[in-house]
Amino acid sequence: MTTEQKYQEDLQRLRGLRPIDDDFMRCLFKDNIPLAQLVLRIITGKEDLVITDCQTQKDMKRLAGARSICLDAYGIDSQGKRYDLEIQRADKGADPHRARYHSSVMDVENLDAGQEFCQMPDTYTIFIIEKDFYGMGEAVYPIERMNLRTGKPSEDGEHILYVNGEYRGESSIGKLMHDFNCTRAEDMNFQLMADRTRYLKEDPKGVGEMCKIVEDMCTQRCKEAMIEVALQMLADGMLAIEKIAKYTGLPVDEVKKLQAGQMIE
């Protein structure tokens, strides 16, 4: 395949990407506080929410020895509250245990030695899922801890929200979920979303950024496929680690990590 053919292939993939595709979503929110603020205002229902910082691909590795996570988009508002915005295309990635872990990691990340527990900031773990995870047709499913004896919320500052990516309608969140599923800027309702999409898909500089990301995405998907193959080979127990590394193209050290049940970053 020539360089030009590869470029055209990347362009074709780019045209098909939507905001609900996590790689594209990260690019939409990168260095784009106004867009992050718009989306979080709509999802949380807080019209006066002011985002002061937004990072994409935020690594959370503070607790030594624990499983690290990389947040799709991590925001902080003017009151110090934290927001983790995650795109989950498949139900498997939206397991409630995962939401619980994301929330707990944000707690660890945001409480320093010597601070009182009451100084932990409120956190919002938000999963936008392509399908209706709970199947009840609601736009948003808020999940809160509550005291089962009193029937009242525990008011511990932890908030988990599941957003139904299938939801449509004339409400702001219905229009937002429509935009998250669009491939073309001209079909979107919100100007901020449309402008950023147009830049990444039509502006030469934006297209250049995205083509590199599409290439990296394909490389990552290939690696993930090889990891699955390596796991199957390890389960069969018929081949030495060195042979598995040779056939999958993975480094020997990574195959050893897989054998030990460790996560490959």
pTM of the predicted protein model: 0.79
Q: For residue 169, name the pLDDT band (cuts at 50, 70, 90).
A: confident
Q: What's the pLDDT tens digit per position in 207-245? A: 888 877 767 766 777 787 888 888 899 888 888 999 898
Q: What's the pLDDT tens digit per position in 91-150? A: 778 899 999 999 999 999 999 999 999 999 999 999 999 999 999 999 999 999 999 999
Distance CA 44, CA 159 (A): 10
Q: Are 134 and 141 in contact (CB under 8 A)?
A: yes
**Of 46-60, 145-159, 172-186, minimum mean pLDDT range:** 46-60
- pLDDT score at 96: 94
State the burial class of residue 229 (Cβ atoms within 10 Å of its Cβ: 0-12, 13-18, 19+).
Answer: middle
- pLDDT score at 85: 95
What sign for the dihedral angle of Cα 180, 181, 186, 187?
negative
Contacts of 89 (CB under 8 A, 6+ apart): 20, 21, 22, 129, 130
